[in-house]
């Protein structure tokens, strides 16, 4: 087993702890370069006509999801390793809360006009006063 561990000693996931500070800084720099590249690509996609018009929002969403993945792995060190189970659960809970807030807000905005008093009745109430 130790021979196998020695073979993979240099194999470290981006979110796992590294043996030296230099290798850790190297992974931060790789994350920075990837994040800057995705940001520049997003600006390029939004400002050119390289993509078909209706496909631009989809392309930007794909780039945004990739950007989130880069940040989670390279900067927040969230991986699927056994030591990171709590981090993954906390991330999943955060995603659930954001999802509930967004869906709840959209539901409230969709039903806002239905629950409001019609404008002519509101005007009649103000005139009667």
DSSP secondary structure string, 54-116?
GGHHHHHHHHHHHHHHHIIIIIS---SSGGGHHHHHHHHHHHHHHHHHHHHHHHHHHTHHHHS
Pair (51, 109) in one structural domain: no
Pair (33, 66) in one structural domain: yes
Pair (18, 64) in one structural domain: yes
Q: Which residue has the tokens 């060190």?
A: 77
Pair (49, 97) in one structural domain: no
What confidence score (pLDDT) does residue 16 get? Answer: 60
Largest CA distance in the chain: 90
What confidence score (pLDDT) does residue 90 get? Answer: 81
Pair (93, 113) in one structural domain: yes
Q: pLDDT 10s per residue in the chain (129 long)?
A: 444 444 445 556 655 665 677 677 888 899 999 999 999 999 999 888 888 888 888 989 999 999 988 988 888 877 777 777 777 788 888 889 999 999 999 998 888 777 676 777 777 777 776
Instruction: Indicate left, alpha or beta for 77 from its phi (over 0: left) and psi (-120 to 50: alpha).
Output: left
User: What is the count of structural domains for the chain?
Assistant: 2
Pair (100, 73) in one structural domain: no
Taking Cα atoms as reference points, which of 121, 125, 120, 27 lies closest to residue 79? 27
Pair (30, 52) in one structural domain: yes
Pair (56, 38) in one structural domain: yes
Q: What range defines the domain where residue 87 resides? A: 82-129
- pTM for the predicted model, two decimal places: 0.58
């Amino acid at each position: 087993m130790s021979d196998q561990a020695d073979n993979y000693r240099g194999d470290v996931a981006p979110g796992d702890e590294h043996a030296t500070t230099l290798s850790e800084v190297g992974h931060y720099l790789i994350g920075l370069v990837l994040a800057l590249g995705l940001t520049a690509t997003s600006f390029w996609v939004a400002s050119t006509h390289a993509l078909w018009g209706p496909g631009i929002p989809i392309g930007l969403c794909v780039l945004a999801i990739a950007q989130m993945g880069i940040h989670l792995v390279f900067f927040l060190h969230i991986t699927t390793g056994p030591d990171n189970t709590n981090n993954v659960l906390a991330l999943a809970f955060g995603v659930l809360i954001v999802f509930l807030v967004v869906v709840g807000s959209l539901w409230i905005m969709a039903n806002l006009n239905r629950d409001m008093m019609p404008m002519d009745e509101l005007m009649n109430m103000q005139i009667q006063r």
